[in-house]
Amino acid sequence: MRSVSYREILRLVWPLALGMANNAIMQFTDRVFLARESTASLEAVLPASILAILFIGFFQSVVAYSGTFVAQYHGAGDPEGCSRSCRAGLMLSLASGLVLALFIPLGRLVCDWSGHSPDVLLREKTYYTIVMSGGFFLCAAMAVQSFFTGIGRTRIVFWVNVLGNAANILLDYLLIFGCGPIPASGIAGAAVATVAAQALQFIVLLVLARPHLSFRTTHQALSTKHQAPSTKHLLTRIIRFGSPAGIYSVLNILSFAIFVFLTGRVGDMAFAVSNSVFTVNYLLYAPIEGFAVGVGTLVGQCQGAGDPDGAVQACHRTLFLAELYITVASLSVLVFYRPILGLFMSDAATFDPAAFMSLGFVLFVLMVAWQCFDCADVVLSGALKGAGDTRFVMLWMLFAAFGFWLPLLFLVYWKWPTMPALWSTMIAYVVLICFGTAWRWRRGPWRSIRLI
């Protein structure tokens, strides 16, 4: 077994974690800008973005799974397999962009069913339509990011991510509020800024990846026991193993979307507080996604090299680092909750600031209560997906979310339609899904799965 040190894990993971945090900071800034623009925009952006990600998330997850194949071929010493895996991901991105355009009318219809106020509804539809129209760039950027992550070049992904998000924040300010000849576009400007930033990241990453993607089989590839896989063969296997990962993403987002749309019926002030706290929650949670991608890469590389014991060690050490981070971050939010919530209070708001702060603190406490369990589930799920055990991850999400959480959520909404009561159901759900994922990882059937 090759020992995977904490230093090696941090070298791979920190650019991913900071990159995800950078994404969260960008979204945080986006939400603050929209809160300053109007309360209606703040209320609209979370459900609209969740709805867009609900459709885009499936295709992004399938495309991103090409990076797992890159990691396994990299661990097996097969560079041609790495480059072909990325090219297959780009082909899937092109097809995904075309299919996503067909989902625009369906999503607008879902917005109509939400029961939100007309002003919020109009803004939801606007944001959703623009983001969905740029679905190709969101998927294609993911394909090239996954390639660099799979071969361990995560610093490239980080710096390009910083560039794209800096452009996003600048465009947010210019397009939301207007500047000189640029008219104020409100929530439509925020959506355009998101798509433009993803397009910029894709172009830069593609230029940097081009030497690798034009790679042809050399003595290094021929010297291994693996033959160069065909692109058609890879497309089939990426779709086969990536589709459960994509469905997992859809189920995860769909269950959360139902939760968000249901909380929108509790009241405007409570909904604004809930959206604000969830924005902060994502700011804390985003680096954990980086840990999950990193552990998936490490597990994939170890599995490609035929070293499942090394995969176990890499997973457990990554989980320790992730839990250490989320504990410190969560406690910090509780200490500084007042200035954080103050960022989301518009001068034009009609609700009581004291009530906003009081409810916000309660929701922050509930958020902290589930964070450690959520962190463990996300990291362990990333490890399982890196090993190819995507079917279990999908089926367990289906049971936990739709067989347990949502029935509980609707029962609580019927009996106690308050925001703290609805948020409390999240704790029970996260604890359940965490223990199931940990049990699967400990049992170890993933050891026998072979992707390549």
Q: How far apart are CA 118 and CA 115, in angstroms?
A: 9
Percent of the chain with pLDDT over 90: 25
Residue 335 lies in a domain: yes
If you search the block for the tokens 């902060």, which residue do you land on? 280
Residue 223 lies in a domain: no
The number of beta carbons lying within 10 Å of the beta carbon of residue 232 is 11
- Least Cα distance to 198 among 136, 255, 250 occurs for 136
Q: Is 182 helix (H, G, I), strand (E, B) or coil?
A: strand
Rg (CA), the chain: 22
Pair 209, 354: CB distance under 8 Å? no
Q: How far apart are CA 284 and CA 311, in angstroms?
A: 26
* Domains held by the chain: number: 1
Number of H helices, E strands in the chain: 18, 0
Residue 376 lies in a domain: yes
CA atoms within 13 A on the CB side of 439: 8
Q: How far apart are CA 309 and CA 298, in angstroms?
A: 12
Q: How far apart are CA 69 and CA 81, in angstroms?
A: 8
Q: Is 179 helix (H, G, I), strand (E, B) or coil?
A: strand
Biggest distance spanned by C-alpha atoms of the chain: 70
Going from the C-alpha of 27 to that of each of 79, 228, 240, 281, 391, the distances in angstroms are 35, 40, 32, 12, 31
Residue 165 lies in a domain: yes
Tell me phi and psi for residue 183, to 5 degrees: -75, 150
Percent of the chain with pLDDT over 70: 94
Range of the domain at 242: 6-217+229-448
Pair 283, 24: CB distance under 8 Å? yes
Residue 137 lies in a domain: yes
Q: How far apart are CA 71 and CA 152, in angstroms?
A: 8
- Least Cα distance to 49 among 111, 2, 98, 95 occurs for 111
Q: How far apart are CA 123 and CA 45, in angstroms?
A: 8
Residue 384 lies in a domain: yes
Given this model, what pLDDT does residue 40 score? 79
Residue 183 lies in a domain: yes
Q: What is the tens place of the pLDDT at every residue in 328-368?
A: 999 998 888 888 888 777 665 667 778 888 888 999 999 99
- Least Cα distance to 293 among 12, 7, 6 occurs for 12
Q: How far apart are CA 70 and CA 80, in angstroms?
A: 10
Q: Identify the segments of the chain with pLDDT beneath 50.
A: 215-226
The CA-CA-CA angle for residues 249, 251, 253, to 5°, reads 65
Residue 164 lies in a domain: yes
Residue 447: DSSP 8-state: G
The number of beta carbons lying within 10 Å of the beta carbon of residue 81 is 24
Going from the C-alpha of 360 to that of each of 127, 162, 267, 343, the distances in angstroms are 26, 30, 14, 12
Given this model, what pLDDT does residue 262 score? 84
Going from the C-alpha of 195 to that of each of 77, 111, 133, 168, the distances in angstroms are 36, 21, 8, 9
Pair 293, 19: CB distance under 8 Å? no
